[in-house]
Amino acid sequence: MKEFHKICLTTLAAVLSWTGAEACTNFIVTKGASTDGSVMVTYAADSHQLYGCLYHTPGGRFRPGSMLRVEEWDTGRYLGDIAQVPSTFSTVGNMNEHSLIIAETTFGGRSELADSTGGIDYGSLIYITLQRARTAREAIRTIAELANAYGYVSGGESFSIADPNEAWIMELIGKGCKLDADGTNTRRGIVWVARRIPDGYVSGHANQARITTFPKNDPENCLYAPDVVSFAREMGYYDGPEEEFSFADAYAPADFGALRGCEARVWAFFRTVAEGMDRYEDYAMGYNPKNRMPLWVKPAQQVAPKQLFDCMRDHYEGTKMDMTKDLGAGGHACPYRWRPMYFEVDGTEYCNERATATQQTGFWFVAQARPQLPDDMGILWFGVDDAATSCLTPIYCSTTEVPACFREDDGSMLDWSPTSAFWLFNRVTNFAYMRYDAISADIRRVVDAWENGCLEEIKRQDAALTDKAKARRKKLTAYSVRKAGELFDRWQTLDRYLLLKYVDGNVKSEHGTVLEYLDNPSPAHFVDNGTGKQIPDRIQFPGYNEAWKRAVAADNGEVLKVVETK
């Protein structure tokens, strides 16, 4: 998160500040690019303040004149009331009952374009639109209508918008403040552009605007605000030919941080699924902004759901930015660097990497809209905390009940709860950060077994479900709730196992694997000394990795050196 300062002076001459979840990641896979024909969108809601839980709003019918209260998603600040529509759809997380998916990443953009008088923020745009739109195109229109009608209070946003047939990127930013004599903002609204990702391709965005030039006469594949170019000219952001206008360059010019901390995450995804992406390494590292990466790429092979799950767990492994390799990873290859992102030594500024997987994730998901099935059988694969050491569980988009462990009213960032999945996963993951190389490997064995098992189970369930809509949704809800409860119970057992095995920096020897322990927790799983007193035997002391030992020797070797006593 970082401060995005509004410069619009109100009648009180106050300068307001906005705090947004400016640290998220979206990857998008079209149906022709996926192994199972689904449209997939990923999202990591990364914030140091966001509590990881699953939102649910039931559909409803409303009387004429009904109003809807709008509160800023990040802060809870009341923004005002807007007109309610006659009927709304049921939503769970960032998906509605018709398999419409909306996710976002914040790029901020030009600070002078924030509107402190706005009545709707980016988070409310997502969740209100999910209640009102059935398709991606309807969602794009709804977002633009809401922002233009009530004023947009947030900074620049990239939205992933998908339904069972199409996937789009929509980028938007406000118009700032220009008050008339009555104090009304005459610039209310947004400028925006949306591009449909060609079928068979993948795309992504991560806190940097990515749409550059775009066709002006192809409404099947590109939609945009009528003043998107003229407003840039009015503000002095662009003075070139119409056909060369670039949304990203006009409204969110990229600097080193935007490339290294944002575009690099998209590059890491692209290089995992597509060929030839190393040619853009200098762009991703912030060294060559002219070597711009494309908005979408064609994968070498169709992308499987599990592969996409794992792309959200990336730390630049296998690249020059690999976060497990340098001295900052400590003696146990921990791929995390605590904030701030930048530091200075002897007048030279350096950066810590910002990978796709990060410690401050509130929740994350991989959503699947599946055109071969009824719309209410879309799946929100949902998880909380750091994607690299947490697990996804299937939540059907038409579920009418939130699993107990994901409820909004169970705990908060200031209130630990023993029944909250967010706090359970955080406890396990923060323990893993201490000895990451060993502990994370055990966690990943559990993650892979769970997710692969669920994927196979879903296939069987899809084939067996022949009920009509009402009965089907009841079964889908029951399944979603049951699987989340099973995952919570399994993670509680994993929590105990990891403490038993790795307490005090030691490693207990085992007779089996972590998966065998989870299936049958017992002291007999660990090696004892044979006395019947449950005293461990063959305890291992793995120490630190070679790079760390050499660094310590170089730093303090003269003090630590062992010498022969004469």
- DSSP class of 401: S
pLDDT at 525: 98
pTM of the model: 0.94
pLDDT at 22: 54
d(CA 148, CA 99) in angstroms, rounded, equals 26
- Contact (CB, 8 A) for 108 and 18: no
**CA distances from residue 524 to 512, 516, 517, 530 in whole angstroms, order as listed:** 10, 11, 10, 11
Residues of the chain scoring pLDDT < 50:
1-21
Domains of the chain, by residue range, sit at 2-351
pLDDT at 447: 98
Provide the token pair at 435: 């000895």
Q: Between helices 421-432 and 436-464, what is the axis angle to 10°? A: 140
Instruction: Categorise residue 480: left if φ over 0, alpha if ψ from -120 to 50, beta otherwise.
Output: alpha
Cis link prior to 536 (omega < 30° from 0)?
Answer: no
What is the greatest pairwise CA distance in the chain?
Answer: 96
The DSSP secondary structure of 436-451, one letter per residue, reads: HHHHHHHHHHHHHHHH
Provide the token pair at 318: 């296998």
d(CA 241, CA 137) in angstroms, rounded, equals 28
pLDDT at 209: 98
Cα-based angle 412, 417, 421 (whole degrees, multiple of 5): 85
pLDDT at 566: 81
pLDDT at 2: 33
Strands 342-345 and 348-351: antiparallel
pLDDT at 361: 97
Four-point Cα dihedral 446, 447, 450, 453, nearest 10? -110
What phi and psi, each to the nearest 5 degrees, are found at residue 419? -105, 10
